Amino acid sequence: NVRVISATNRDLKKEIEQGNFREDLYYRLSVFQIHLPPLRERKEDIELLAESFIQLFSKKLGKQVEGMAPEFLKALKAADWRGNIRELRNVIERSMIVCDKQLTLQDLPIEIQNTRQEDYSGKNYSEFELAAMEKRHIAKVLQHTKGNKTEASRLLKIGLTTLYRKIEEYGI
C-alpha cells in the first residue's frame, strides 16, 4: 500500500498539452488536489509565516530576537517571493544569523532591501549608499562566522573570490 503526495509549481494540464507530462500519470496522481496560490498572491500570510520562522530559528540558533522592525516587515511584504515559502524561510534564517536584537531592514539580503525604490520611512533610496549597506551586511556575516570566509560566502550567496574582492574594496 502506497500513498503518494506530490507538488508542482507548473500547470500540469498545459504540460500535458505540450507533451511534457503523461496524461495517464496526471489522472493517477490527481485524486485529491489542493491549490495553494504563490506567496506573492498571499501577502497577508507573510507576517504570520515570518513570525513562525523566527520562532523556529530562535530555537535552532539559540538566539532570541525582539521581533521585526516595521521596515523589515514592509520589505518582506514588498518582495516578489519567486521561491515562495522556501525563499521566505531562507531569508528569515539568514536575517536571524546576522541580526542583533531586532530584525531590521539592514539584516535582509540586499536584493530584498532594494525591492522598492523608496525607503520604508518615505525617503528615496537614492539618499542611501548601497555600498555602505553592503559593507555593513558583509561585516555582520563575517562577525557571525567568526571570520570564516568560506562560510560567509555561502551565507551571502556569493563566490569566495567576490567576497575577498569586496573585503578589500570596503576595507573590512
* Percent helix, strand and coil across the chain, each to the nearest 5: 60, 0, 40
pLDDT tens by residue, 155-168: 999 999 999 999 98
For the chain, domains (ranges, CATH) are 1-35 (no CATH), 39-170 (1.10.8.60)
- Position 91 pLDDT exceeds 80: yes
pLDDT tens profile 22-44:
999 999 888 888 888 889 899 99
Cell numbers linked to 123: 525617503
pTM comes to: 0.60
Q: Give residue for cell 523566527.
A: 54
Q: Which amino acid belongs to residue 6?
A: S
All cell numbers assigned to 88: 521566505
pLDDT tens digit string along 123-158?
444 445 677 788 889 999 999 999 999 999 999 999
